[in-house]
Structure 1
Amino acid sequence: MIPTLVSFDYNHPGYSEIARKIRYAVFVVEQKVPEDLEYDAFESTSRLYLVFIGDTAVATCRRRYTTKGVKLERFAVLPAFRGKGLGDFMVQEVLKEVLPEGRTVYLHAQEQVTGFYTKLGFRVYGEEFEEAGIRHFLMNYEVNHGQ
């Protein structure tokens, strides 16, 4: 099982719909996020990603530029493919792309996955907050983690 990460723009004829289906399954169906909150105005200006195992898309995420830096978001792995290191792979591959830009890299992590992001070099900043009815924490990537 060797994963492949594909990067694409919102207007890609096939990949955008695949990413949308994965996010719908994870966020709207599984986590009960209202659909109108899942698909926002930033969709068309974000860089999107899919993780494939062979010909099967199993995970997705996106990144976008903000006034604070580069925000990583919408990380979703289909349930049948969790626990196989694909989330780790996806985060690390996206970091390889964005870190050379020298911008602050951050994300809003759901409370239950802050430990996952901490292992990958992110650190919690500030207090817990609610987003889409789910508790989150702001986490920034620490460039020199582990050194």
Structure 2
Amino acid sequence: MTPRFRKYSWQLAPRSIRDIRQRVFVDEQQVPAELEWDDTDEIADHYLAVDSNNQPMATARLFSALEETGYIGRMAVLPEYRGRGMGEALIQHLLKESSGRYHELRLSAQQHAIGFYQRSGFHVCSSPYDDAGIPHLDMRCLAPGLAHQGLSQRSQPLILGVDNESWLFDHETAFLGLLDSMVGQTRQRLWIYDRLLDHDRYDRHQLRELISAVARQHRLSDVRILIHDDKPLVQKRHRLIELMRRIPSRIELRVISDDYPQDDQPFVMADRDGLLCRHDFNKPEGFANFNAGRRLKLKEERFQRMWDTAQASLELRELPI
């Protein structure tokens, strides 16, 4: 089955979109009508999937409350079209629509559908909660374009600890998407090694919030940043430096010693699974593996040796409050 997709504003949406949601959510799942129909419909784009005979099969909506974040909602497939790849085709179309438009996609998933969304590159980012009497969890995809690109080759693209195939990248956008996707799934340990905390790569609001979440979510969180040069930190107020000063017991920065061997490739390690490497300090080229295995172990040992001989940042201590 190869569906066709049509996009509408709420004002011009055909009756079939309302009918699908009424049948699936209100009639089948017993969602109260006053919760199903809300003001968000007015600002969302509404997608309708139809077959070759123009028969409606599924619908979803996509909207933005923040400039770089899109929200998927009200995704519904009619019973007679379930189990035939209709849901996968719809989410793939939404990923394609979001590529280049949003840096992040979010959705509220019914608990039983978590595996479905993971197969499209979404990971869980909340504890379970109740919505209209149905258990839900929040999920997000931090690189919609990459997720869409990887769907044809990977069973769970970008999922930490599961996606076994390496991602090769040769431009900044892909590097940042892979970095955010990996950091966003880190539960406890995040180790970063680079020449300096380059502003275009590390001084970003989204990355700061992702690292902050890692540092705060566990009493044994281990966030380490190892760099060669800390002098640029005093030249501009850096988001990560501000974060370190707010929670100094959770994030530690050290400066590598010139007297000891150094790695000539920057890398990031996420928990015991993820590894993101660039081939050169000055270029956005390299690979990422969300389930790195032995390769991660070797980098882990390398990082620890450099860390043990590194020094605390004097520049950071001298920064004004």
Determine which of 41, 44, 49 is the counterpart of 2:42: 44
Secondary structure of 1:42's partner?
helix
Q: Report how far residue 91 of structure 1 moved.
A: 0.6
Q: Report how far residue 70 of structure 1 moved.
A: 0.6
The answer on whether the counterparts of 2:61 and 2:75 sit within 8 Å (CA) in structure 1 is yes
Q: Report how far residue 42 of structure 1 moved.
A: 0.7
Q: Aligned equivalents of 1:105 and 1:22: distance in 2?
A: 23
Q: Report how far residue 4 of structure 1 moved.
A: 0.4
Q: Report how far residue 17 of structure 1 moved.
A: 1.6
Q: Aligned equivalents of 2:40 and 2:102: distance in 1?
A: 22
Q: Report how far residue 65 of structure 1 moved.
A: 0.5
Structure-1 residue corresponding to 2:58: 59
Q: Aligned equivalents of 1:2 and 1:133: distance in 2?
A: 34
The answer on whether the counterparts of 2:69 and 2:102 sit within 8 Å (CA) in structure 1 is no
Write the letter of the residue equivalent to 2:23.
A
Higher strand share: 1
Structure 1 residues 17-64: Cα deviation after superposition (integer angstroms, max 9, x where no partner): 210000000000000000110010111110000000121001000011
Q: Aligned equivalents of 1:53 and 1:105: distance in 2?
A: 26
Structure 1 residues 70-81: aligned runs within 5 Å: 70-81=70-81
Report the TM-score when normalising by structure 2.
0.44
Matched positions, count: 145
Q: Aligned equivalents of 1:131 and 1:41: distance in 2?
A: 17
Runs of 4+ in 1 over 2 A off after TM superposition: none
Q: After superposing the two structures, state which structure 1 stretch, 25-34 or 90-99, moved more.
A: 90-99
The answer on whether the counterparts of 1:123 and 1:142 sit within 8 Å (CA) in structure 2 is no
For structure 2, which runs of at least 5 residues remain unmatched after alignment?
Answer: 147-157, 168-321
Q: Aligned equivalents of 2:134 and 2:106: distance in 1?
A: 18
Structure 1 residues 77-114: Cα deviation after superposition (integer angstroms, max 9, x where no partner): 00000011111001111111112124310100000100
Q: After superposing the two structures, state which structure 1 stretch, 97-106 or 76-85, moved more.
A: 97-106
Q: Aligned equivalents of 1:126 and 1:104: distance in 2?
A: 16
Secondary structure of 2:11's partner?
coil
Secondary structure of 2:99's partner?
helix
The answer on whether the counterparts of 1:10 and 1:48 sit within 8 Å (CA) in structure 2 is yes
Larger Rg: 2
Q: Aligned equivalents of 1:27 and 1:102: distance in 2?
A: 27
Structure-2 residue corresponding to 1:132: 132
Report the TM-score when normalising by structure 1.
0.93
Structure 1 residues 1-147: aligned runs within 5 Å: 1-12=1-12, 15-54=13-52, 55-67=54-66, 69-143=69-143, 144=146, 145=158, 146=163, 147=167
Q: Aligned equivalents of 2:81 and 2:101: distance in 1?
A: 31
Residues 124, 45 of structure 1: CA spacing in aligned structure 2 closer, same or farther, 3 A cutoff? same
Q: Report how far residue 11 of structure 1 moved.
A: 1.1
The answer on whether the counterparts of 1:64 and 1:72 sit within 8 Å (CA) in structure 2 is yes
The answer on whether the counterparts of 1:128 and 1:136 sit within 8 Å (CA) in structure 2 is yes
Write the letter of the residue equivalent to 2:55.
T
The answer on whether the counterparts of 1:129 and 1:137 sit within 8 Å (CA) in structure 2 is yes
State the superposition RMSD in angstroms: 1.4
Bigger relative contact order, structure 1 or 2 (CA pairs below 8 A, ≥6 apart): 1
Secondary structure of 2:57's partner?
strand
Write the letter of the residue equivalent to 2:128.
E
Q: Aligned equivalents of 1:10 and 1:108: distance in 2?
A: 21
The answer on whether the counterparts of 2:70 and 2:102 sit within 8 Å (CA) in structure 1 is no
